[in-house]
Amino acid sequence: MTVVEDIVQTAPDAGDLRARVAELHAVQEQAKQGPGTRATEAQHAKGKLTARERIDLLLDEGSFTEVEPLRRHRATGFGLEARRPYTDGVVTGWGTVHGRTVFVYAHDFRIFGGALGEAHATKIHKIMDMAISAGAPLVSLNDGAGARIQEGVSALAGYGGIFQRNTRASGVIPQISVMLGPCAGGAAYSPALTDFVFMVRETSQMFITGPDVVQAVTGEQITQNGLGGADVHAEVSGVAHFAYDDEQTCLEEVRYLLSLLPQNNRETAPVEPALDPAGRRCEGLLDLVPVEGQRPYDMHKVIEEIVDDGEFLEIHERWAANVICALTRFDGHTVGVVANQPQALAGVLDIHASEKAARFVQFCDAFNIPIVTLLDVPGFLPGVGQEHGGIIRHGAKLLYAYCNATVPRISLVLRKAYGGAYIVMDSRSVGADLSFAWPSNEIAVMGAEGAANVIFRRRIADSDDPEGTRTEMVKQYRDELMHPYYAAERGLVDDVIDPADTRDVLVRSLRMLRTKHADLPVRKHGNPPQ
C-alpha cells in the first residue's frame, strides 16, 4: 500500500473539509516527491537532475504551474496494474522565462524510465495544444526510454500524436528540444521536428537503432556516445544545434535563446535597451579583413565588431563551419546573421553549409526576424562527392529559403562574391531589400585568374610569353569587370561603404525596414527542394 492510499483510507469523514484539504496536500506532496529518495539518488548518481529540478532551472523562480500532476495510467497486464504512480512519468505545465510565458514538459526517468505510455502521451498532447493555442514557446526536457513496451501500440500512437503536433506548431511557436538522457527509436523524430536541439555531453544520446542492433546487423562495434552522443550530433550529423558539458549551463543557454525569440509568428522578438551606440564607428574592421581575397580571417570577429556589445548566439557552431548562422541584436532588436567563414574551406558553400543556412533563414522568416547576410564566398565546393551528393538540390534549398523570405533582408559584400554562390547568398536579384559592399569587394562570375584563362585561352596559348600575357589579361579583366564600383554602377549594389560605417549603415537600414510588409502569392504551401 502506498503512502497516499494509506492517507485516503484513513481520512476522516467527508464533513471535515480541513481534513480533506490535508489529504489533498499529502497527495500533492507524494506526486511531487515521485518514487522516493532512492530513485532520486540513482538519477543524481548518473550525473542527471530530476525533472522538477530541471524545470526549476529553466523557468523563473516560483513561476511554474503544473498541469495534471495527479494523472495515472489505466493500463493492465505485465504488472502495470500494481504500479500506478502519479504524473505517469512526465511533468507538464507552464511558467515564465524572463517574465514571458513558456510551456514545458519533462520526462521523469525515475518513473518507468521516462517511457511513454498512453496517459503520459495524453499529457504531452494537452500541453502542446495549450502552447499552440496560447501562442507561447514549447520546451521539451527529454530523458526517456522510448515507448512503454507493456502498453504496445497505444504507446506508439502516442508518439504519432506528438509528431503531428510538432508539425502543426512548426513556424507558429518556437519549439526547443533539450536532450538530457537517452532518446532512441521513433522518439528521436520529435526533436528532429523542432526548431532547436540542445544536448549534454556524456548523459544524452540520440539514435534510431542502438549499438546492439548496429552490431547485430552490420558487425560494427560502437558505444552509445560514439553512435549518437552530443559531440557526434553537434559536429558530424548536424542533428544537435548546441552541446554543453552540464545541465545547468545547457538550461541557462536555453533561457538566453528564448530571450532572443518572439513568443509566436504573430509577434516580434522583445527589444532590449541598447547601450551600444547605433552610430558607433567600427575602425577595427579596417585591420580585421585583408584586401587579398586568398588570405583567411575570422568572420566571428567581424560580427563581434558590428553587433550590440559584441554578443551573439551561434547556431550549429561546430557543424558546417564554413558558414556562420547566429542570432544577435542591432539597436536592441533581434537579427539573424548568415555569413561565410573564410577560415573554414575558404568560406565556400557545400551541401551541409547550404542546408544549415537554409533552415536558419526559414526559421528567421517564420518568426519575423530580419536577416543580415555577410558575403565573402568564392563559390560552391567542387568535387565528385559534392555533385553526387546532390549539391544542386541542397544549394537550391538555400536559394529557395532566401527567395521565399519576406522579412527585412540586407546583404553586405566584404570581399569576393563569385558565381552562383553570390546569387544564392541573398543578392539583390533574389530579393534582398538592400545590398551594400565594401571597397574591397569583387563581384563576378568567377575569379579573375579563372575568367582570364577561359576568355583569353587562345591568346595566352598563342603568345610568345604565356605567363606574361596571362598576367596582363587577368589585370585587364579585374580592371574592367571586377573593380569595386562595377556592381554599384549597374544598380546591383545600393552603395559602396566605408567598413568603419558598417554598423551605422546596418542599424539605419534595419530601422527603415522595420515596418516592411510583403505578401506571398496565395497557396497552400510551396514545394521546396529536398
Residues with catalytic annotation?
185-186, 420-421
Axis crossing angle, helix 448-455 with helix 466-481, rounded to the nearest 10: 110
Q: Which three cell numbers stand for residue 452?
A: 582570364
| Torsion, CA 354, CA 360, CA 362, CA 368, rounded to 10 | -150
Q: Which amino acid is at 478?
A: R
User: Which cell is 332 given?
Assistant: 536592441
Closest to 408 (Cα-Cα) out of 475, 330, 349: 330
* Helix, strand, or coil (residue 152): coil
Q: Which residue type, as a one-letter code, is found at position 102?
A: V
Closest CA to 450 of 485, 419, 493: 419
CB-based contacts of 386: which residues, under 8 Å, 6+ apart? Answer: 350, 351, 380
Run of H or E residues at 232 = helix 230-232
DSSP per residue over 283-333, as a string?
TTHHHHS-SSTTS---HHHHHHHHSGGG-EEEESTTSSTTEEEEEEEETTE
Q: Do residues 322 and 265 make contact, with C-beta atoms less than 8 angstroms apart?
A: no
d(CA 284, CA 307): 13
